[in-house]
Each structure stands twice: as C-alpha cells, then as structure tokens.
Amino acid sequence: MSKNLVIVESPAKAETIKKYLGKDYEVKSSYGHIRDLPRKKLSIDIENGFKPQYETTSDKKKVVTDLRKAAKDKTVWLASDEDREGEAIAWHLCQALKIDPKTTNRIVFHEITEPAIKNAIKKPRVINEELVEAQQARRILDRIVGYQLSPVLWKKIRPGLSAGRVQSVAVRLIVEREREIQAYTPASSFKVSAEFNTVKQPAEQLRAELKTKLDSKAEVLDLLKKLTSADFHVTSVEQKPSNRNPAAPFTTSSLQQEAARKLGFSVRQTMTVAQRLYESGLITYMRTDSTTLSKTAIDATSAYITSQFGKEYYTLRQYKTKQSSAQEAHEAIRPTDVKTTSAGKDEQQQKLYSLIWKRTVASQMSPARTDKTNVSIKPDQHDDIVFVAKGEVLRFDGFLKVYGGIREDVNLPDVSVGDALDRQTVSAEEAFSKPPARYSEASLVKKLEDLGIGRPSTYAPTISTIQARGYVEKADIEGISRKHQLIELVDDSIKESEESREYGSDKSKLLPTSVALVTTDFLMKHFSYIVDYEFTANAEARFDEVAAGKLDWVKMLDEFYETFAPLVEKSESVSKKDSMQAKKIGVDPANGKTIYARFGRYGPMLQRGETEDDEKPDFAPMPEGKDIETVTFDEAMEMFKLPRIVGQTEDGQDIKANIGRFGPYIQVDKTYVAIKPRDPMKITIEESRKLYAEKLQQIKDRKIQAFANGIEIIKGPYGPYVTNGKKNVRIPKNVEPKDITEKQAQEMIDKAPTRKKRYKKKK
C-alpha cells in the first residue's frame, strides 16, 4: 500500500507523473479548482476586510470526499502548477482536506519529466501564502467589478451584459480601433518603378524604384516628361553584409501569435493543445512571460546543434525577459528533450510541438548572413531624381536551416559606377494609404501584453469571453473596389489607364458589435477609472507587489474600492436614454421629425420622433451590415418604408417584407418566412410566393396528426410533440405518434402543467 498521495490538477498530468514515481506514491487529480466563490451572489464581505466566502463547488464534492479518503494516514504532496493559480489550488486543497498549509509538502516543477519530478520530491517547500494572496486579490477585485458593474449595464443598456477589469479594456481597444478605421481618409500616392537594360552584351535586365513616392498625377506627368529623352547611368554601387538573428524562445504571448500566423490556430486552441503537450511531458510549462532557458536546456540544445549541423551553426544566447513577474514560471516554453524532433498524439499537437521545437533550437543558432547590394541610378541633368535597385543574396543560412523563412535570392547584374543603362519603361502606379489594421486574436494579445494588461493565463479566456458575450465578432472583411491610375512611359510616349482593385479585405478579424460601441461609451463616460489602460496595467503591477510580499492585499482592495464604489452609486441616477446615447442622423423633410440611430432591446435600431412627444415615435430596423455609427440618413429613410407590401398570394392575402431581430423575412397573416440573403426592398412577388409555398409545405410535412378538437401532433426539431396551441407535450420515445388517439392526446394535454406567466417587473 502506498504511503504518499500526490495531488495534481488534471488526470492527464496524473497519468504522466505516475510513470515516474514508484509504488509508494499514489497520484490523484483534483480536476482543477475544488473551491470557489458561489456564482449566485457576491460572496465577499467587503465591510470585514474583503473576506471571501468560498465553498466546494457542487461538481467537486465527490472529488473532495475521494481525496480525503485517499489522504488518510498518508503524506500529502501538492503538485499543482507553479503559478498563482496553481498555488491557490494547493491552498484550497489544504482547506478542503483539513491539512495544515504550513507543514504540507508543496512541490513544483516546470516540466513533467522523470528527473524534474524526482528532484521536486527531494526539495519540497510549503505553500507560498503571498502567491495565494495575490491570486485571491485578483479574484476578489474581478468579482467586485463583475458583480457590481454588470447589473448597472443590465439596467442601463441591456440584460445579460457583463463587465470585467480586463475584458472591458479589451473591448475598448477593439472599439477605438474600429472608429479609427471608420474615420480614416485614404491618401493617394504614386510608386514609380523603371525597367533598364545593361548595355553590356548580353544585356541583362535591372528593375529599380524611385527613391521617393509622388503625391499627385501632375508630379508623375512632370517626371515622365523629364525622363522622355534622358540618358541613365549608374551613380553608386553599395555592397554590405547583413545579419538576421533568430527570435527568442516562446513565451505564452509569442506562442499564441506565431501559432496564429503559421498554423491558423485561435488563442484558445493554442493553449488547449499546449496544455496537452505539457501534461504529456513533452514541453515545459506553457503559461510564462519568461524568455530564459535553463543551463540544462542550453547545454542540450548546444550538443544537438553541433552534432547535427556543425559548430559554425551554434551561437550561445540567453535572452532577457522584458518584465519580471512573480506569478509565472521562470523559463520559456521549450521541448523537455531537444533530441525528440517530432511528438504529439494528433496532428494539432504535432504541429505545435514542431513550432516550439524549431523556435527553441533556432534561438541558439548562428545568425543568417546575407550580402545586400544597392545600385543607384540617375538620369543625366537631373541629380534630384534617384532610382534604386536592391539585391540580396544568402551567404549562410544559420538558424533559417531549422526555422525556415529563406527567401529567394535577388541577384543584380554586375554593374559599375558610370555604366550606361538603356531605359525600357517607367511605370507610375497609384496606391492608397491604409488605415490601422483591425485586431486579430493574436495581435490583440500582443497589444494587451504591450500595455501590461492581463497575464499569460488571462489572454485566452478574455478573448473567448468578449466573443461569447456578444461584444465582438470574428469575421472576414469584404474589400471594396477602387480604381487605380497607371501612367507609363513606353519608348517616348506617355500612356494612361485605369484598373479596379480590391481594397481592404481581411480574414478572421475582431469586429465590435453595436452593443460594444454603446457599452464602451457608457463605461468611458461613467466608469473611465475601470476601462483606463493605466489603471488596468497598474493593477497587474500591484498584484505582483502582493505576490512579492511588498503590499498588503486588503490595503490594495481598500484603495480600489474607495474609488469604485462611489461610481456605482452615482450611476444609479443616469437615465436609460442618456446611457443609450442615441445619435441624431437627420430630419425627415416630410414631417420635421428627427431621425435617430440608437440601441434598443434587441440591438441597433432607427427611431423617428421623440419619446417624450404625445405622438409615439416610429421605429425601423437597422440596414444589414450597418450600425449606429455607420448608417447614413438616406439608408435610414429607406428603412422607414418597411414593412413593404410586395403583393398578394394567389388567394389574395398581403405579403409583407420586413427586417426583424433575426434578419429579413416575409409575412403572410401569422406565417413568417426567412428570406436571407434576399433584400426585403427588392424581393419580387414571384420569389415571395415560391418561398411562402415552400414554408406551407414544410408546415404540412411537420403535421403528423390533426384532431377535430384543435389538438395536433407535430414533428419538432427535438422530436414529436402534442400541442393545442398553448401547451406542448413531448411524446415518449417508446410511443408511436401515429398511433395516438384523440382521447389520448387530450389526456396528455390535460395532465401537462400550465406554464407560469411571466410578469414584467414594475419600475
């Protein structure tokens, strides 16, 4: 019988560790956190030092019972991850198992390998109370923000919204970037390039670009006229060596960014796959902001590089971490065994492992060396006009041998200063400046990291949360067609032409929804303290101080709450109209009523008239693809033409076209038919009749039986059911719907409980 019990967070980690410990050790999993703050209430005694009221979560009660039995008469070893979250898990285990955190063995390791596990057993410590307090401070602060600020959003904007110290700042970043893009006016310029032939035999081609861009068509025409009869010579040839160094080993953030760029992984996908690799003992701990490698790892990588590629490919490097954090593990993400070049249980794991392996090995390899050549070309009599041809040739691949990214050599003809060149063509192509790029998941992580907001463990859940809450959508951006001018000098004549090109298309970008725009504006106006970038970054630094034992966690929370609580109290007096911040977009010339774009119960909408007037305002849906900030007056006026009478059915009933909360539709009496992607303003009577007929056939096909008393048996999406229009009763799987009699159907309806009516809460 084993004398020791080792407790880890996950079953996969337990399975790996079991292989390295003998029969004297039993290894069990806590399946993550076993205690937490209850969901239904704040559960923090703010008046008494922010005392948290933890409880064992319902799904972990059996786990705790089993662990208590397993721990009886055994030495307990707590082996959760070495970060604040892992330290808190270990502390909560002590509370639940009723063992002393000041004497219980706490072991930590950065990789799940036999040497690391056995070395940890030899050097146990006790739970670090300061790390626990830092985690607890973060949990409590975020709970207070979430539980006291979210209800404000429910009252003032829309039920079901949430706010968070990091998530609301992430949404603000995305909203502000979108507004930058919408306000951006593209500027036009011309890039000028020229084709030359050397006069040596055989002639070789040389392509060069004008050193500066031109701002207007007039400048282009003036340049081409000067070049029409000009002779060209080489005025300088500059050759210089260049080095390209490898990047540092992966941190959590850089791994997420590179996996997105090279593998197309989402942030959450990257962390899930990395977790599996770590638990299998293949890589070191994957939540870290450190770029350093241990001496053992450096020595192993050195030996591998020199044996596989030769000494000239090895260069010792030790990277410095940009910012220190008491929370995270103290080594970069790397393979536990550099000699294992490929690993993983599935294709995703194999791809991510390969990326980590290559980045680690490349970080200790020599730089790639290239020779760069710049050739300057000028027309005679015009010293201010300079064309430059650039060439680059790889002389030594260095780290690129492993990490890839070798570009094709650009070889230039062998020319010397003074050589004459034969001008073939000069082309000026119009280009437009681009607005700031929308955030992808990976670039948002980088921005949050640059601002010091959040920590490696928070990026993936933050990005998932803002999408799940409806603040942000991940979408592909359709480009717009824009005409580009092309002006060419061919022989001695100038030719002009135009061609259309797509501009602004993009993939998998984070776009703010209308509710994000309204919520961000509300928070900026009434809770700027919470969504302030500096406050959020400073909070992380304060958590670090708590973790380092330099700051009392209760004092930190006191300072925060003294500012936060009055803001919540003050927000009660904000009117709902003020919080919605309706945007005036024009006045209806027919009746003088103001047109507003505003946020309603089900999303963005249009309003004509004032809510305070005796006459109720008119409402219309927002046009497809538009929001409060982008809809124009003309587009809004078109929407007030809805609902539109398309025509009549063959039996004379009106067919109305409109847009609802779920998209465009047509309506005949009480029958609704979705028509997306058709436009309700353009759908024809023929299309409408066809879609309506198809809908009637669907309804008919769903009807299994119909009785004289009005009861029907319907084929529903979740199985057949009996209905009288007010009650729906599911039919058991062992009952054939076709065999049910009218009497049986009536009995089923009679026995079914009546659904309680929902009453609106009086204000």
Q: Catalytic site residues?
A: 285
CA gap 504, 272 in Å, rounded: 32
Positions of E strands within 261-415: 368-379, 387-396
Count CB-CB contacts under 10 A for residue 506. Answer: 13
Q: Contact at 8 Å (CB) between 540 and 455?
A: yes
Q: Contact at 8 Å (CB) between 458 and 141?
A: no
Cis peptide before 115 (omega within 30 of 0): no
Closest CA to 448 of 146, 143, 85, 165: 165
Question: Helix 267-279 to helix 11-18 angle, to the nearest 10 degrees?
Answer: 30
CB-based contacts of 747: which residues, under 8 Å, 6+ apart?
none
Question: Which helix (H) or strand (E) is 445 found in, with range?
Answer: helix 441-451
What is the SS3 assignment for 347?
Answer: helix
What is the SS3 assignment for 574?
Answer: coil
Q: Contact at 8 Å (CB) between 156 and 572?
A: no
**Order of strands across the sheet with 671-674?**
644-648, 654-660, 663-668, 671-674
Place of tokens 């790029």: 437
CA gap 493, 487 in Å, rounded: 11
CA gap 61, 70 in Å, rounded: 14
What is the SS3 assignment for 694?
Answer: helix
Q: How far is CA 759 from the centre of its chain?
A: 39
Question: Helix 514-526 to helix 167-183 angle, to the nearest 10 degrees?
Answer: 110
**Order of strands across the sheet with 703-706?**
703-706, 712-716, 719-723, 728-730
Q: How far is CA 485 from the centre of its chain?
A: 37
Positions of E strands within 588-696: 594-600, 603-608, 618-621, 644-648, 654-660, 663-668, 671-674
Helix then strand then coil, % of the chain, to nearest 5:
35, 25, 40
Where does residue 734 rank: exposed (0-12), middle (13-18), buried (19+ CB within 10 A)?
Answer: exposed
Q: What is the DSSP letter of 566?
A: H
Positions of E strands within 317-419: 368-379, 387-396
CA gap 535, 544 in Å, rounded: 14
Where does residue 739 rank: exposed (0-12), middle (13-18), buried (19+ CB within 10 A)?
Answer: exposed
Q: What is the DSSP letter of 617?
A: P
**Order of strands across the sheet with 603-608?**
583-587, 594-600, 603-608, 618-621
What is the SS3 assignment for 226?
Answer: helix
